[in-house]
Structure 1
């Protein structure tokens, strides 16, 4: 399989600008290609954020399926790597800011591109709110405060404000802060993991194959699938590497490699952190029965003491801030990309650029204000917050699979990727497997698991997803935003067919 193009030369700024112009966009003086390869990896890594993912869902996953829940990280990692391989081919062809929106627009058409952009933007904005809100209890513990609803809201708003200010300073600052976040998070994960394994390990690796009674009374596969949501929540973020394609030198070669590296490093860090925590939990039975509702906090406090525990919390908070920072960067570039094509309300405002900072400030403000409003809304109705953020992970997978389906359709109609990263003859098999994997992941997210909780609680992810699709579809039918602007669309197949005829 030819994964990389054999072309060895690196592109120059003029070549990058020429490629962008050939895709219908003028580079001019807007984005600056200041993001290095490792900065691009850091952006994807901090968005994926193994610490945020594991620390947020560890207790739930362990209590649901016991220690074998660890293997879901391996399974989901392989599935998402298939998706990243397809994304790598696409971004190599279309290294345009905004990621999934321009990709699906070029591969399928205007309507598909608009709906994909709408779904993915809604998912990004709600994910920012959910990550910031999830940081509240950790900030309260760090400051020694009681974790109340008000404290959580204030903490979330502070994190959103900090991330927004940093993003407004430009790509260079984003590159540096993302790398600091990667170093802090990866370093913290390694130090915490080693400390737990060397000095506070309670079990050997055999526990990874022992359920300790989890899932009793039902098929264990059902419990394992439910716990597998920790992996599903964990492995997205690599696509953010492509959202900033106009800010990376030689994007056709750099970004596909950065996407894969994000999964390799992020997945390894997540599995290492999860493994070290599992082996340090003293009583799995207490966690599974619900007697120990916070095994993570208990393990860390016992291992590091009050002072060390606060240091660990500091690293965790850095992870949350850098995660929100990366999510905002992705959301703002998507907003800008759609506004640049003239298909969003207030496109003229949202497509404006700061000539000094080389970022779209109003698009960034959307990525700060909307999540902040969602967080504030939790004061009025926590149920509303749950309904909104329950769409976050599902929306990500929907956005991914709309691209994967568009790519498969285009391949079957004759499209052959011609970028610097190619899968060659493996393209269609990998594309089919990536689509199959994504559908399985979405089914797992919408599957009802708690019949005693009522129909709404069981189908909240499905309901929120249908609402987002219905609102987007209604707006599409009434306002017809896809007809606005003259950006290229559905040209992947046309270009390929023209080349074949020539």
Structure 2
């Protein structure tokens, strides 16, 4: 047998095993397994997107805590790696489309899964909007348009339309776009960061331990924790690798690896870009005082000139677009997974598949229309970027920790991960640490930090979280959406004489 024939036979065997495993879990997938390991990793990387995360919040973080804000990237990276390890065990045993919703369903039950999916769905849709909105000013600068709220909104809507068009192309188009986005972003990050470090560096490494007067008169720890939003916003996206589990051959082995690679490579790239920008800022005092409200543009214009900075902006825009693509794909798969289990109104519509493209087109349209409405609603806020991001990140972290908590509960009730990737005896400790980190990060996000502001403004992030969770609970109690579903639930926990099948 030739090597080509042997490879084709091996691939067919893998596909058959994936189909059989999915059938054991109670599903027959309409997706095509066209996404390679590198495409899956690239999807997670472009969702995490170091360029998007750093460029969006660099000015805020540097003005709030000065150069030491960079250490939040390392702290959050370690915390999120713990979460990624827990997720890796779960997806290895339950390689199902939709990510956190089906994981919560198998670990706990229908009610918990519905609420987890609700929180995560709202957060994902708002995150798509936050990325598109964050891209708006860069689109305007690249096209030479007059900056302003209306211009930013129009450019953000254009990003959403383009992302939706690519996603409508199917899994192969998504995978190719993810690889192009990853390649462009990592090469651009290394090239731009390398040039800034070797040709435009204004400071030594010691500035990373000097606040330069940030938060003078107040607690520096409080300022550092507030600036930590740049790290918290940075390190999610690895779960997108699992959202498309039914589109990846041998997902039980490949997706946990993709998740870890996303943290390692994305974390390195983000820290490298942040370091290069910090050491190239000419005047920290001007950033902290507000005299230089956009240090990224200042650095890029100084280092590359008008023409060179346009090229850099083009790379940045590719990063924003590929990030929006990955987010939108993850949101559409979650909505589809929800609808496949009949857990949503109009489930029959949202679970509908395109026979030609092998994607759920109506679920994808929701992942385009809702973010567009959020972008349009940004006109009512003068601090739209920070508000949208804070709301989105809190929802993502809540969704994550609801799964981490479900995993811990399942372990304590007898669940032993049985996928191709497990942590063995370290699983319980990693699970506990991941939950502790996640709770601490959530408390940091909702902590009120503007005593001079109206109470509703000071507690806006917390109120947003309460609104999302509260509305989910109300819908859960009044409409009982989980009652229409007979898909497997709560089966991670082994049956015992003392245990009644929960599936709730």
Q: Aligning the two structures, in what range does the TM-score lie when normalised by the shorter sequence?
A: over 0.9
Preserved contact between residue 133 and residue 385 of structure 2 (Cα < 8 Å): no
Residue 388 of structure 1 and its aligned partner are, at CA, apart by 5.6
Residues 325 and 433 (structure 1), Cα distance of their counterparts in 2 relative to 1, 3 Å cut: same
Further displaced range: 352-361 or 387-396: 387-396
Give the Cα separation in 2 of the matches to 1:380 and 1:263. Answer: 35
Give the Cα separation in 2 of the matches to 1:389 and 1:205. Answer: 30
Q: What is residue 393 of structure 1 aligned with on the other side?
A: 393
Q: What is residue 21 of structure 1 aligned with on the other side?
A: 23
Residues 496 and 367 (structure 1), Cα distance of their counterparts in 2 relative to 1, 3 Å cut: farther
Give the Cα separation in 2 of the matches to 1:62 and 1:98. Answer: 36
Preserved contact between residue 394 and residue 465 of structure 2 (Cα < 8 Å): yes
RMSD value over aligned CA atoms?
A: 1.7
Cα deviation, 1:239-270, whole Å, max 9, x if unaligned, reads 00000000000000000000000011100000
Matched, 1:177 2:201: no
Residue 492 of structure 1 and its aligned partner are, at CA, apart by 0.5
Q: What is residue 4 of structure 1 aligned with on the other side?
A: none
Preserved contact between residue 45 and residue 237 of structure 2 (Cα < 8 Å): yes
Residues 217 and 495 (structure 1), Cα distance of their counterparts in 2 relative to 1, 3 Å cut: same
Q: What is residue 332 of structure 1 aligned with on the other side?
A: 332
Further displaced range: 379-388 or 471-480: 379-388
Residues 496 and 325 (structure 1), Cα distance of their counterparts in 2 relative to 1, 3 Å cut: farther
Q: What is residue 144 of structure 2 aligned with on the other side?
A: 144
Q: What is residue 287 of structure 1 aligned with on the other side?
A: 287
Preserved contact between residue 390 and residue 445 of structure 2 (Cα < 8 Å): no
Q: What is residue 269 of structure 2 aligned with on the other side?
A: 269
Preserved contact between residue 377 and residue 384 of structure 1 (Cα < 8 Å): no
SS of the residue 2:31 aligns to: coil
* TM-score normalised by structure 1 residue count: 0.95
Give the Cα separation in 2 of the matches to 1:233 and 1:318. Answer: 19
Give the Cα separation in 1 of the matches to 2:84 and 2:475. Answer: 30
SS of the residue 1:135 aligns to: helix
Aligned positions of 1:240-389 closer than 5 A: 240-379=240-379
Residue 494 of structure 1 and its aligned partner are, at CA, apart by 3.0
Cα deviation, 1:378-429, whole Å, max 9, x if unaligned, reads 3466678876653200000000000000000000000000000000000000
Q: What is residue 492 of structure 2 aligned with on the other side?
A: 492
SS of the residue 1:452 aligns to: coil
Residue 373 of structure 1 and its aligned partner are, at CA, apart by 1.4
Cα deviation, 1:10-60, whole Å, max 9, x if unaligned, reads 961010000000000013xx1000000010011000000100000000011
Preserved contact between residue 85 and residue 256 of structure 2 (Cα < 8 Å): yes
Residue 377 of structure 1 and its aligned partner are, at CA, apart by 2.4
Preserved contact between residue 160 and residue 368 of structure 2 (Cα < 8 Å): yes
Give the Cα separation in 2 of the matches to 1:463 and 1:130. Answer: 18
Preserved contact between residue 92 and residue 255 of structure 1 (Cα < 8 Å): yes
Q: What is residue 54 of structure 1 aligned with on the other side?
A: 54
Preserved contact between residue 233 and residue 389 of structure 2 (Cα < 8 Å): no
Q: What is residue 39 of structure 1 aligned with on the other side?
A: 39
Residues 430 and 50 (structure 1), Cα distance of their counterparts in 2 relative to 1, 3 Å cut: same
Give the Cα separation in 2 of the matches to 1:243 and 1:157. Answer: 24
Preserved contact between residue 164 and residue 368 of structure 2 (Cα < 8 Å): yes
Q: What is residue 426 of structure 1 aligned with on the other side?
A: 426
Residue 145 of structure 1 and its aligned partner are, at CA, apart by 1.1
Give the Cα separation in 1 of the matches to 2:294 and 2:387. Answer: 24
SS of the residue 1:147 aligns to: coil
SS of the residue 1:453 aligns to: coil
Structure 2 residue ranges without an equivalent (≥5):
1-9, 499-504
Q: What is residue 82 of structure 2 aligned with on the other side?
A: 82
Residue 120 of structure 1 and its aligned partner are, at CA, apart by 0.1
Residue 143 of structure 1 and its aligned partner are, at CA, apart by 0.7
Give the Cα separation in 2 of the matches to 1:429 and 1:149. Answer: 47
Cα deviation, 1:206-233, whole Å, max 9, x if unaligned, reads 1111111112112211111011110000
Count of residue pairs brought into register by the alignment: 489
Cα deviation, 1:459-486, whole Å, max 9, x if unaligned, reads 1000011011111111111110011121
Preserved contact between residue 141 and residue 147 of structure 1 (Cα < 8 Å): yes
Matched, 1:439 2:439: yes
Q: What is residue 3 of structure 1 aligned with on the other side?
A: none
Residues 378 and 32 (structure 1), Cα distance of their counterparts in 2 relative to 1, 3 Å cut: same
Residues 80 and 164 (structure 1), Cα distance of their counterparts in 2 relative to 1, 3 Å cut: same
Give the Cα separation in 2 of the matches to 1:451 and 1:387. Answer: 17
Residue 134 of structure 1 and its aligned partner are, at CA, apart by 1.0
Preserved contact between residue 414 and residue 497 of structure 1 (Cα < 8 Å): no
Structure 1 residue ranges without an equivalent (≥5):
1-7
Give the Cα separation in 2 of the matches to 1:497 and 1:197. Answer: 64
